[in-house]
Amino acid sequence: MENIITNLKQFWGYTGFANFELNYLIMIVIGCVFIYLAIKKDWEPMLLVPIGFGILIGNIPLFAGLNVGVYEEGSVLNILYQGVKQGFYPPLIFLGIGAMTDFSALIANPKLFLIGAAAQFGIFGAYAVSLALGFDPAQAGAIGIIGGADGPTAIFLSSRLAPNLMGAIAVSAYSYMALVPVIQPPIMRLLTTKKERLIRMKPPRAVSPTEKRLFPVIGFLLTAFIVPSGIPLLGMLFFGNLLKESGVTRRLANTASGPLIDIVTILIGVTVGASTQASEFLRVESVKIFIIGAFSFFLATFAGVFFVKILNLFLKEGNKINPLIGNAGVSAVPDAARVSNNVGLEYDPKNYLLMHAMGPNVAGVIGSAVAAGMLLGFLG
């Protein structure tokens, strides 16, 4: 009998209850909030459900040596986490994004490239603020990329520049991406007049298959020659797009844009979530990162919308761009474009801006990958 009691006591020591601390509870609540937002509010469910559940997985109190934690070398979670740590999940996601993205809106109206470039101010503004808040340049670069509103890019860059901050950066990036419909509209309304919001843009011209096939090849060669450090992201993005547009690799494109990206999204979401162990995540730095992340989204949106207003000064009547698509320069595809469309419809129920906004939106993906390459080149 005594042995049984001793055994039970020993077993109690193994349980999560015995190792419980308040920090774990806070993280579990955060994970549950993510899951709630995804299911009830439909905010980026594909990301927030895996990340939210990953947070639950990563915050079960463990005793040392069980070899199941995400940071314990050789554990299953640790092996899956290598894709994040070594940075090979993000390029695979970019392959899928390339294979599912139609760049026609951008090719039809190449002016929209410039909006995608302008919105990258968010990244470098956040970089400067991070430096001012005491982060070192490599950490500041990793935090700044949150302003690109691109989760895979944020993970890729932080795995290279600041691996110890990756959890906070990834969760911050994905959280704000999910909050794009909340963050952006007030800034868009603040910066635009009613007249500007009613601008109707010319329908884009038809884009030939040849142009679509040329785009990934020329786009890759040019951007990779300018920023070779961005090759993993740019290469996979444009390669995926070529698979889609070549017309002869439909099966490969379908795999890249379907099962492959789904598998990698599941793995990246769960492992990033699991990497937010309370001991690693609940720090003053994480709070700072969340504040800087919010600032970078504001700045990126501001820069995109404001840039369109400036651009309009140089465009003839009839060719003007509705500034409501300026917010889409951040690369949260397609949410930012959807926000442009919804805000536009509030003021003119027949003014559908979605296809116009997709132009800066996909340009933003290219722009943020180039910006990430720059940061990696200077700080890596």
Partner 1 sequence: MKNLKSFLTVVGLTIALGASAQSQESMRINEYLIINTNDFQDDFGQQSSWFELFNSSYGTVDLSGCFITDDPDNLKKYRIPSGDIATKIKPRQHVLFWADNQPFRGTFHVNFDLENAKEIILLKGDGKTIIDRIPVRHDLPANVSFGRTADGEGSIDGSFKGWDILKSTSPSTNNLLVNKAGKAEAMQEMDPYGWIMAVTSMSVVFLALIILYLIFKNIGKANVKAANKKSSATKASSDSSAGQQCYSEVPAETYAAIATALHLFIEDNEAHDEESDVVTQRHTDRTYSPWSSKIYTLRQTPQVNKRN
- How many Å apart are CA 128 and CA 14, to the nearest integer? 46
- Output 94 or 113, the one with its CB closest to partner 1: 113
User: Does 219 engage in binding with partner 1 (CB under 8 A)?
Assistant: yes
Annotate each residue in 94-113 with x if it binds partner 1 (CB under 8 A) or - if it does not, as one string.
--------x-xxxxx-xx-x
Kindly compute the dihedral angle of the four CA atoms of residues 151, 156, 157, 163, in this order, to the nearest 10 degrees.
Answer: 110
Among 37, 187, 336, 374, binds partner 1 (CB under 8 A): 374
- Output 26 or 114, the one with its CB closest to partner 1: 114
- Output 208 or 279, the one with its CB closest to partner 1: 208
Q: Which two tokens stand for residue 119?
A: 């919105």
- How many Å apart are CA 145 and CA 304, to the nearest integer? 16
Residue type, 311: L
Q: Angle 137-144/151-161 helices, nearest 10 degrees?
A: 170
- Output 189 or 200, the one with its CB closest to partner 1: 200
The least distance separating partner 1 from the CB of residue 311, rounded to whole angstroms, comes to 12
The least distance separating partner 1 from the CB of residue 13, rounded to whole angstroms, comes to 43
Residue type, 279: S
The least distance separating partner 1 from the CB of residue 113, rounded to whole angstroms, comes to 4
Which of 346, 349, 354, 348 shows the shortest CA–CA distance to 328?
Answer: 354
- Output 160 or 197, the one with its CB closest to partner 1: 160
User: Does 137 engage in binding with partner 1 (CB under 8 A)?
Assistant: yes
Contacts to partner 1 from residues 150-189, by CB under 8 A: 161
The label of the residue with tokens 């959890």 reads: 167
User: Does 60 engage in binding with partner 1 (CB under 8 A)?
Assistant: no
- How many Å apart are CA 290 and CA 169, to the nearest integer? 8
- Output 240 or 367, the one with its CB closest to partner 1: 367
The least distance separating partner 1 from the CB of residue 97, rounded to whole angstroms, comes to 17
Residue type, 237: L
The least distance separating partner 1 from the CB of residue 253, rounded to whole angstroms, comes to 15
Do the beta carbons of residue 35 and residue 57 sit within 8 Å? no
- Output 159 or 223, the one with its CB closest to partner 1: 223
Q: Which two tokens stand for residue 124?
A: 């470098």
- Who contacts 315 (Cβ-Cβ below 8 Å, separation ≥6)? 321
Write b or e for each residue in 103-112: b if 16 or more Cβ atoms lie within 10 A of its Cβ, otherwise e.
Answer: bbbbbbbeeb
User: Does 231 engage in binding with partner 1 (CB under 8 A)?
Assistant: no
Which of 130, 380, 192, 171 shows the shortest CA–CA distance to 278?
Answer: 171
Listed ranges 281-289, 330-338, 344-352, 371-379: which one lies at the site for partner 1 (CB under 8 A) = 371-379
Residues forming contacts to partner 1 in the complex (CB under 8 A) are 102, 104-108, 110-111, 113-114, 116-118, 120-121, 123-125, 127-128, 130-132, 136-138, 140-141, 161, 203-211, 214-215, 218-219, 222-223, 226-227, 355, 358, 363, 366-367, 370-371, 374-375, 378-380
